[in-house]
């Protein structure tokens, strides 16, 4: 089983395959061969090339949104889909303003599109935020992806979709996609903040006494 996250030598990065874990994906010649073929495909090559250029040219200086703008320009994407969460309406408006100023056409679709009640997917009142599955509108990431596909967007952006709703958006998006920001309601949308504290204040949260704590 591959365990790159536990590898300290990182021979791949140093182009020294004597310094790897015993099981190393860099040494899986069959998969790596197939992978290289994929990069030969025009779109993949272009995305790979321009994302590396964006990384190199603004390294440590450009914020994520600036990198996204530069990447979209390099890729000549014009019509941009914005799949945003209702909890990020203000941010969605601001991002749209910024993107439009920078010459993009923005199609934005909120997660609540379709106005479908939560009962549609079998949710019960006790599994809703305010206690009524009939009155609460479910998030509809498939709708977001389908509407953006219908609008023939060149590229899609995800802004703050919930865990799992984003999964469905990624599953159904037809245009290539990147993420502006992930949602973390507790940390101001910075999910790594508690990870940085995982040996301190968050230790009990991440390593609960009862390992079944998060199984429900």
Q: Does 179 bind ligand SF4 (CB under 6 A)?
A: no
Sole binder of ligand SF4 in the list 1, 24, 113, 124 (CB under 6 A): 24
Residue closer to ligand SF4, measured from CB, 7 or 149: 7
CA dist list (Å): 34 to 31, 37, 39: 5, 5, 9
Q: Does 66 bind ligand SF4 (CB under 6 A)?
A: no
- The CB-side HSE value for 186 (13 A sphere, CA atoms) comes to 6
Q: Does 4 bind ligand SF4 (CB under 6 A)?
A: yes
Residue closer to ligand SF4, measured from CB, 10 or 121: 10
Stretch that binds ligand SF4, among 22-30, 59-67, 110-118, 161-169 (CB under 6 A): 22-30
Whole-angstrom distance between the N-terminal and C-terminal Cα of the chain? 28
H-only helix segments in 40-140: 42-57, 64-74, 89-101
How many Å separate Cα 1 from the centre of its chain?
A: 25
Sole binder of ligand SF4 in the list 1, 15, 18, 20 (CB under 6 A): 20
Q: Does 12 bind ligand SF4 (CB under 6 A)?
A: yes
Sole binder of ligand SF4 in the list 15, 18, 25, 165 (CB under 6 A): 25
Q: Does 10 bind ligand SF4 (CB under 6 A)?
A: yes
Sole binder of ligand SF4 in the list 21, 66, 123, 162 (CB under 6 A): 21
Rounded to 10 deg, the angle between the 29-39 and 42-57 helix axes is 90
SS3 59: coil
Q: Does 31 bind ligand SF4 (CB under 6 A)?
A: no
Min CB(33)–ligand SF4 separation in Å:
15
User: CB neighbours of 212 closer than 8 A, spacing ≥ 6?
Assistant: none
How many Å separate Cα 10 from the centre of its chain?
A: 25
Where along the sequence are the contacts to ligand SF4 (CB under 6 A)? 4, 7, 10-12, 20-21, 24-26
């Amino acid at each position: 089983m591959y365990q790159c996250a536990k590898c300290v030598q990182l021979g791949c990065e140093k182009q020294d395959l004597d310094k790897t874990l015993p099981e190393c994906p860099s040494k899986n010649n069959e998969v790596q061969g197939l992978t290289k073929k994929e990069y030969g495909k025009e779109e993949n090559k272009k995305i790979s090339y321009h994302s590396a250029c964006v990384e190199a040219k603004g390294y440590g200086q450009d914020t994520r949104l600036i990198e996204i703008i530069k990447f979209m320009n390099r890729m000549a994407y014009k019509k941009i889909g914005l799949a945003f969460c209702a909890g990020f309406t203000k941010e969605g408006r601001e991002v749209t303003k910024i993107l439009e100023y920078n010459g993009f056409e923005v199609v934005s679709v909120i997660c609540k599109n379709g106005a479908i009640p939560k009962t549609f997917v079998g949710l019960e009142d006790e599994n809703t935020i305010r206690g009524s599955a009939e009155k609460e509108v479910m998030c509809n990431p498939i709708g977001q992806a389908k509407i953006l596909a219908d609008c023939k967007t060149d590229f899609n952006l995800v802004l703050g979709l919930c865990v799992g709703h984003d999964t469905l958006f990624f599953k159904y998006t037809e245009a290539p996609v990147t993420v502006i920001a992930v949602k973390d309601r507790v940390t101001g949308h910075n999910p790594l903040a508690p990870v940085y504290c995982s040996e301190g204040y968050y230790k009990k949260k991440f390593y609960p006494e009862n390992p079944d704590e998060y199984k429900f």
